[in-house]
A and B are shown apart, each in its own frame.
Chain A
């Protein structure tokens, strides 16, 4: 009974922890998403959690200039609407001084002196009436408090994808990431099989070198690697900063871990399966392709996710090995640029950030179905 009890409480704790992790992970992501589809004006004045409620905020409008005045019944009238086209909302109160936007209720008529009166209706219609003709070139400023209903829009995304250059960078990032994920896996799977199951002299040494390379800091090798690459590039007449260069760099940085992870998994496959295949007449290549690869899907998938995320989120290697032109700037680098140039435009930043996390999300969700238990079930008696 005691054992059952402790297992139960353990399960309960696990559930709470999982729930906590989900909340910690989901809430900011959701906030980011909500922010990215909110109207930019609302975004700048209130948090995302108020997105569904009507917001009251102070705003400034300007009546039409005197040139548009009309003479009606001997009075000069300037009329119009405070809200821009397409904007829904209502005016709560208004005033003519910045300190007092609440001076008059909506629908009241305000006496501005000199026989000038201002009426602002709740729907934003205003009417400026004067006995004498308005003069000057600029319209009367109106300070008002507006209640804006929640408004969601894809405008931010449209802007980000077209004018902010995120669209192009998105493609650049994919161009970097997909080959930089596939190439190391291809190489590492072969190497891992050889290191796990083929007998050849120096195997142990090779493996220990791979393990040793795991701890080499990327920053240390970055610049020597670039110089090396450029040196080779000069010989073959290849420009310094190319996609090929960053593919090779990411492959190199990813390989030790890939080989190590895959070797550990592959060497854990039951020996009898390989021997049985050898008796059946399979060569090493047959065993690798027909038995080891299908059985290694979980390991391949987890490394793919790992490598994809790392390359996708990488900034350092990208800015060293790729140029800063539009056709080579990756998403992370573009985000950094946006942070500098449009740091106050939250709608741009949130939309860009969300686009950036979208791809890893899709990759994870589509590959996680390979992370299955029991792939070896039924093969050998445990």
Chain B
């Protein structure tokens, strides 16, 4: 069943179009993550679903009903805000009970649900405290508890972890994943700019850019088969190396020539007719290895070496504007100024056409 359905949803603030026509179906029980760079409209899209902003045009359905004009409280949603947005003058208990009290639920019902939510989130000892007496992680758990108490069909998270410190972020991320598992019929929509959160939590990721959807797919799909240059560069960290190239041949044995480098055989479906056209050649830093016996793609001088222990990042100046970045396993004895040759298996290479659309990779 479709939980949330957006068709041609647009949003303008005055003359500025923030969401430029979004079509998206979210299935019941799905965990969908919106990612994108700052200002891409991902938070706005979430607020449109929540009903905190009115959509300018298009239709939005939640649970099969059009909710364009329905106020937030009647949409069957609950929202967790980046800044927690707790009621500072109310105890944890009352924060969680606020919505139910407004809905005139019975005292027993309120008590039962608040206690249950507190149990899940290990907040039981803090029910009588004010938010100011809680730590950041506890506050965010209260905010999540408040959302659980509403017993929503759709959970909305607006960057819920970005105010937490690194360790707490990991712990809370795992808690959210557990929460999703424990509520299999609840749809969750999660906005973040953090790739790791997106990759680890999502059933499907929606990559947004400048008010449009770039690609929707499972995390691995986005990683292995990005539809376009934007997604290819956005998903994966560090970002994919991209070099302009010329397509030498298509068909059965496709080859491209990255500008300033020797031709490379690739394993992507390039139509015969695209021979001679300009395009972009891409390779992920983690796919690059040091070439020992020829077959190198890039040759250049190392300008920066970053040793992280488990991996070593080297920035290689190959004559292009941006250095090529390679992520090598373990500790590698390469120093600044060394000349290195980098190779990558043919099946890991990406090629994009002049408009930035990806040619489909074979395999996987």
A residues neighboring B (CB under 8 Å)? 270, 272-273, 275-282, 286, 290-291, 294-295, 374-381
Contacts and interface: CB of A to CB of B under 8 A. Distances in A.
Q: Which of A295, A377, A379 has the most CB of B within 10 A?
A: A379
A270 B83 CA distance: 9
B68 to A, nearest CB: 17
Given A378-B134, A381-B163, A275 B88 contact: no
A379 B150 contact: no
Given A378-B132, A379-B131, A276 B85 contact: yes
Given A279-B150, A380-B85, 17 more contacts: A272-B81, A272-B84, A273-B88, A276-B81, A279-B50, A280-B99, A280-B146, A281-B99, A282-B102, A374-B132, A377-B131, A379-B84, A379-B87, A379-B131, A380-B83, A381-B83, A381-B136
B177 interface: no
Contacts of A282: 73, 98, 102
Interface residues of B, number: 33
A286 to B, nearest CB: 6
A280 B83 CA distance: 16
Contacts of B89: 291, 294-295, 375
B130 interface: yes
Interface in B73-118: 73-74, 77-79, 81-89, 98-99, 102-103
Contact of B87 (A275, A277, A279, A381): A277
Contacts, number: 91
8 contacts: A273-B85, A275-B79, A279-B78, A279-B79, A281-B74, A295-B88, A378-B88, A378-B133
Nearest to A278: B72
Contact of A375 (B78, B88, B133): B88
B52 interface: yes
B85 A280 contact: no
B214 to A, nearest CB: 28
Contacts of A375: 88-89
Nearest to A293: B89
A276 B73 CA distance: 10
Q: Which of A270, A374, A375 has the most CB of B within 10 A?
A: A270
B319 interface: no
B49 to A, nearest CB: 11
A306 B320 CA distance: 68
Contacts of A272: 81-85
A281 B102 contact: yes
Contacts of A376: 88
Contacts of B52: 275, 278-279
